Structure 1
């Protein structure tokens, strides 16, 4: 949601257009006859890896077909859940061309393709064992959404009866919805069900969920779950315990991202990463998970890149910690090749996928190894972390995985605790046997991923 902080700067660059007279969602095009694949078994929550796609950056075409043509690359990252940023027509009144400014909840933005090409993408992903979720924006709509004229009471209004933007946000391109309206709530839920039925999507990443009443999410998520036999994937952009109480199974690890960036860029003790990890999970219900990341679309667009936070080599080391310590890993398109500059989603901004092939290969190796390590998915965690080295063990009764990461760009020596001294392991990335003695010397930003079966 940080994207809209830039509206006041950019709004003058995008002149408003006339309302196009829409008064109902467009009907499905007769060509939309792709048969949806029913081969997908949605992965267990603990085994999920989410890959976020910015359509305007992911391919030169900027379309659903452009994503479909690169599904191999998404699988290289170990992903089994694809998150598509908003796919809907974008408002043209007060616009900054943000995909989070939605003009029609039941239509596909022609910039990206058609319902037909979306269904083809979903089916192709399902055939590969990957689920597809779509972004859902429930707090607000575009100013030229048909509801504006047809259902003014569905929107928040000031004392003079004027529809308002979300208060205190500066999000001038959108109008805030009124959740005291029962009819609006029902239409919102019906629109969410539309995409499950018509496009075969497997769940939602719901935007700014803490801006919308918990009572709506409780009603909406219960309705979605009752509507389908699918074990829907429900990710909320929120950070509080109540997100889980209303039915979301994942929310954001905001504090973790801040902590790990400060450890690498400011020299904060590496122990902060572990304490933040533990603190975040005190606000998660049993069975829920945190979405863990070093970047996402908001951060890469408007704040720092992973290269600025961690350095190129450090960004890989930080990702190892993020993807192995606990939670559900998120990869945002571009981070796996160390894209050096901001990646906009307000306009077309194709990624140069030929950059830094060594970084891509490192991500691929890290996530290929992770997929085979059951202790990372289901094990408990024990930390041995020091000021400069993150070290932790993920373990079950049958397997132990030991991860050691130097968070500094200089040689560090890790003093091995007695319980691990003189033990035998396999280095899963080098595919060699390794003995851990009383200490381990680590080059700057070096990481080790070790495993032993019990």
Structure 2
């Protein structure tokens, strides 16, 4: 969503730097007594979990095996669940095994800018996209094709016309007792939630459970996770993980070790993206990407994995398309190869695989031609297919061969040994192959043709090559 930053509560101070979805919240407190639960919150003593709809998906991939596809429904034609469902085979063919649906909830209308991250009803379905049955059908068909489905969860704030606002103690307030937007921002379309309030927490967790049971989803991407207290995530994810019939995926749009310790398997790579953009924009040396990679990986516990992307919905809206960011189709593919092979798990944002050339305002429908640039689609498939069959890419030890123009690294896991070369320059480069890599014991990773690596290898502008040791 938009970006917030600051502290939300008296008992927690969050000092963070975030360059992704969400807004930058500030501080606030609410000493007023906790009222009875808001209508429809389900936080009363008579609460019971909904009945399970459908059969829980048994093929949720291990974290290391995830290839994720972010669905902006508003780029599909028609721009609804049925439009997405019609393209499931094409999404699957890329090598995708997890689909992330951007928010599918009704959007608020009070003070609204039509942001999908302005949630009017946590247990409702946006009528523009279809019905609950349409969402269920999409999830079921994705499961039938071997893909898990996660929803986008917005914990930090709600729409002003969300029914929860009748419980003022569930929200941050000013000195006069008025509900406020996330402090220290210019954004006024949402109201900031108060995580000091136990009833609000309970209602939110039950709403998260609702979709696991009622639509048979497989987890959540959690918006602006850095600004929500880690102890709430611990409470929520522990509760969700007690649903033993489901294996759930948890992705934090955040950066902290505390989130991984709270139960998230995946977190964002803000710094990696910035370095990637800098390398291709000529403002950073190729070595900066390697340094950033190491820093990000070391910043979280070993149980966590970074989600790597060359674009996502925020960036496509603010920074432009991969075509503009990485200087054309070939640059876009080279950037994606780096996000797929260096560390972490890769993300494709709907539209990038067909080389959509313009910014996408995700507050509005933007029809993308998903039949465009079949050569790029084929290249995305090829890049992903190589990753899927090599454990070295997923978990292997990384050895970097520094070069002023080419990002070169080897990854090894047991007997699996791969070499990745990416020309980060918009001009042809002759790469001096390290002596220990030269020789004829390699195969081209895309064609399987036996290769003798010479002393010097020519790479075209933004060219990339992968090899596997025989």
The verdict on how the C-alpha distance between 1:63 and 1:25 changes in structure 2, with shifts beyond 3 A counting, is farther
The verdict on how the C-alpha distance between 1:424 and 1:267 changes in structure 2, with shifts beyond 3 A counting, is farther
Match of residue 402, structure 2, among 377, 385, 399: 385
Tell me which residue corresponds to 1:49: 67
Match of residue 193, structure 1, among 200, 205, 209: 209
Structure 1 position 233 matched with structure 2 position 249 = yes
Equivalent pairs counted in the alignment come to: 431
Report matched runs for 1:161-180 at 5 Å: 161-180=177-196
| Counterparts of 1:347 and 1:206, CA distance in 2 | 22
Tell me which residue corresponds to 1:261: 277
The verdict on how the C-alpha distance between 1:34 and 1:116 changes in structure 2, with shifts beyond 3 A counting, is farther
Bigger shift: 409-418 or 196-205? 409-418
8 Å CA contact 2:255–2:268 kept in 1: the answer is: yes
Q: Secondary structure at the match of 2:202?
A: helix
What are the superposed Cα offsets for residues 409-432 of structure 1, whole Å, 9 maximum, x if unpaired?
112111111211114211122332
8 Å CA contact 1:25–1:107 kept in 2: the answer is: no
| Counterparts of 2:226 and 2:21, CA distance in 1 | 21
Report matched runs for 1:300-339 at 5 Å: 300-312=316-328, 313-339=330-356
8 Å CA contact 1:427–1:433 kept in 2: the answer is: yes
Match of residue 94, structure 2, among 63, 74, 77: 77
| Counterparts of 1:380 and 1:223, CA distance in 2 | 34
1:447 Cα deviation after fit: 0.7
Tell me which residue corresponds to 2:46: none
What are the superposed Cα offsets for residues 431-454 of structure 1, whole Å, 9 maximum, x if unpaired?
32211121211111111011124x
Report matched runs for 1:236-315 at 5 Å: 236-312=252-328, 313-315=330-332
1:156 Cα deviation after fit: 0.5
| Counterparts of 1:324 and 1:370, CA distance in 2 | 7
| Counterparts of 2:84 and 2:268, CA distance in 1 | 25
| Counterparts of 1:107 and 1:281, CA distance in 2 | 37
TM-score by length of 2: 0.88
| Counterparts of 2:257 and 2:469, CA distance in 1 | 35
| Counterparts of 1:246 and 1:189, CA distance in 2 | 14
8 Å CA contact 1:136–1:205 kept in 2: the answer is: yes
| Counterparts of 1:363 and 1:297, CA distance in 2 | 18
What are the superposed Cα offsets for residues 29-85 of structure 1, whole Å, 9 maximum, x if unpaired?
xxxx9962445311111010110000111x211111111111111112211110000
| Counterparts of 2:385 and 2:214, CA distance in 1 | 33
8 Å CA contact 2:121–2:163 kept in 1: the answer is: yes
8 Å CA contact 1:40–1:127 kept in 2: the answer is: no
| Counterparts of 2:404 and 2:320, CA distance in 1 | 24
Tell me which residue corresponds to 2:34: none
Bigger shift: 173-182 or 63-72? 63-72
Bigger shift: 81-90 or 436-445? 436-445
Q: Secondary structure at the match of 2:125?
A: coil
Tell me which residue corresponds to 1:134: 151
| Counterparts of 1:25 and 1:177, CA distance in 2 | 14
Report matched runs for 1:119-158 at 5 Å: 119-149=136-166, 151-158=167-174
8 Å CA contact 1:40–1:130 kept in 2: the answer is: no
1:374 Cα deviation after fit: 2.2
Gaps of 5+ in 1: 8-21, 27-32
Deviating above 6 A after TM superposition, structure 1's stretches of 4 or more consecutive aligned residues are 3-7
Tell me which residue corresponds to 2:2: 2
Bigger shift: 80-89 or 438-447? 438-447
| Counterparts of 1:6 and 1:76, CA distance in 2 | 28
8 Å CA contact 2:153–2:221 kept in 1: the answer is: yes
Gaps of 5+ in 2: 5-19, 23-37, 43-50
Match of residue 358, structure 1, among 375, 380, 386: 375
8 Å CA contact 1:119–1:199 kept in 2: the answer is: yes
| Counterparts of 2:198 and 2:223, CA distance in 1 | 20
TM-score by length of 1: 0.91
Match of residue 78, structure 2, among 44, 61, 74: 61
8 Å CA contact 2:71–2:350 kept in 1: the answer is: yes
| Counterparts of 1:397 and 1:210, CA distance in 2 | 36
| Counterparts of 2:113 and 2:57, CA distance in 1 | 39
Match of residue 371, structure 1, among 373, 388, 410: 388
8 Å CA contact 2:267–2:306 kept in 1: the answer is: yes
